[in-house]
Chains A and B, each alone.
Chain A
Amino acid sequence: MSSLQGYVDRRVLLILQDGRAIVGIMAGYDQKSNVVLSDSKERVYSPDEGVEEIPLGLYLVKGDMVVLIGEIDDALDAAVDLSTVRAEPIPPIRY
């Protein structure tokens, strides 16, 4: 069973079907990969500006919307100065 066990209470990056990227602490999940994130922030990427972080607080994301959940290595993440990162946003899912 490849579950989300092991991500609880960790800082995770959530990528959604519409291309949004949200970082937060995984508070809980269920069978359908519905996910609750606490202290979450959306990271908005743009090609001509640094990354903007928008605080969202406690978020429940429906499993249908989830593309990927990645565990963030805090040391690596702290080493990156987000204001210098220029990138296209992640494309949305196309079926």
Chain B
Amino acid sequence: MLIFSVFKTLTDQQVTVELKNDLSITGVLKSVDQFLNIRLDNIKVSDETRHPHMMAVKNCFIRGSVVRYVQLSAENVDTQLLEDATRREAMNQVKR
């Protein structure tokens, strides 16, 4: 749930999503849902010569379960805050 909130704060930022089929897609994060499905706008596939399949696609929906990494720019994330929040969440889970 915490990571869902983190992604929500990142909407309208440029991100790169690496999928489990080794496709990397860069685009503007439009929205996220509870499954971490992602909507990207203005997408660009890295290595377009090798992957011309999405030439005519400008915006897309990516299923959360096939995402391997999401690359964010460091200045958009408050790492200290995130660290504290994740630890707090982990503590709460232990207590429960």
Contact = CB atoms under 8 A, between A and B. Distances in A.
Interface hub of B20, B33, B53 (most chain A Cβ within 10 A):
B53
B20 to A, nearest CB: 5
Nearest to A76: B56
Contact of A93 (B20, B25, B59): B20
A77 B56 contact: yes
Given A3-B33, A17-B66, A91-B22, A72 B51 contact: no
Given A90-B23, A93-B21, A73 B56 contact: yes
Nearest to A1: B33
Contacts, number: 90
B21 A91 contact: yes
Nearest to A95: B20
Question: Across chains A and B, which 10 residue pairs bring their CB atoms closest together, nearest first?
Answer: A70-B57, A77-B56, A2-B31, A70-B60, A76-B56, A2-B33, A69-B61, A2-B39, A93-B20, A67-B66
30 contacts: A1-B31, A2-B31, A2-B39, A13-B54, A13-B57, A19-B21, A33-B61, A33-B63, A64-B65, A67-B21, A67-B62, A67-B66, A68-B23, A68-B61, A68-B66, A70-B54, A70-B59, A71-B57, A71-B58, A72-B56, A72-B57, A73-B57, A74-B56, A85-B52, A87-B52, A91-B21, A92-B21, A93-B20, A93-B66, A94-B21
